[in-house]
Amino acid sequence: MSRPPNTPWLTPYLTVASGRAALDFYSRAFGFTAHNVLDENGVPTHAEMHYQGSLVVMFAPEGAWGSTARTPRSLGVEASQTFYVYCEDVDAMFARATAAGAISVMPPADQFWGDRYCMVEDPDGYRWGFGKHLAQSDTP
């Protein structure tokens, strides 16, 4: 088998400032659950986060295993990508995320492509979009 069971073909692997802070934030802000957290001397050096039972992101802190990768926030740049996650209630997700410290980039609104959508920025500078597909009318 070319990948572990129940693992998507593509999973973002992020660099975060603090593994412990990222675990806490993603849990509180987005409702992600931690799996396969590897600790070295009490410091999380790798973690997998699941949403709705699926692996959605993995991460390691800056400097882990000698890496020179840095977060967008550490580099002082805007992240060039947005992670698009479908959810049941965009407005509730936006409220939960901003209450947990995410920065509002785009408040919830119905979009031309047929989704209700919002975007927030996490403490490390990554952008997360949350969408829910709006029901299409059968009326022409």
Q: How many beta carbons lie within 10 A of that of residue 46, not counting itself?
A: 17
Residue 81 class from Cβ within 10 Å (0-12 exposed, 13-18 middle, 19+ buried)? exposed
Task: Select from 47, 68, 72 the least CA-distant residue to 59.
Answer: 47
Give the model's pLDDT for residue 137. Answer: 58
Residues in the chain, total = 140
Taking phi first (over 0 means left), then psi (-120 to 50 degrees means alpha), and beta for anything else, what does residue 8 get? beta
**Per-residue pLDDT tens for 40-84?**
888 899 999 999 999 999 999 999 989 999 999 999 999 999 999
Q: Cα(107)–Cα(90) distance, rounded to whole angstroms?
A: 9
In this prediction, residues 12-24 reach a mean pLDDT of 97
Domains of the chain: 13-133 (3.10.180.10)
**Per-residue pLDDT tens for 93-140?**
999 999 999 999 999 999 999 999 999 999 999 999 999 999 875 545
Give the model's pLDDT for residue 84. Answer: 97
The identity of residue 50, as a single letter, is: H
Q: Cα(130)–Cα(102) distance, rounded to whole angstroms?
A: 13
Give the model's pLDDT for residue 88. Answer: 96
Q: Is the dihedral of CA 93, 94, 98, 104 positive or negative?
A: positive
Find the DSSP H helices in the chain: 19-30, 72-75, 90-99
Give the model's pLDDT for residue 110. Answer: 98
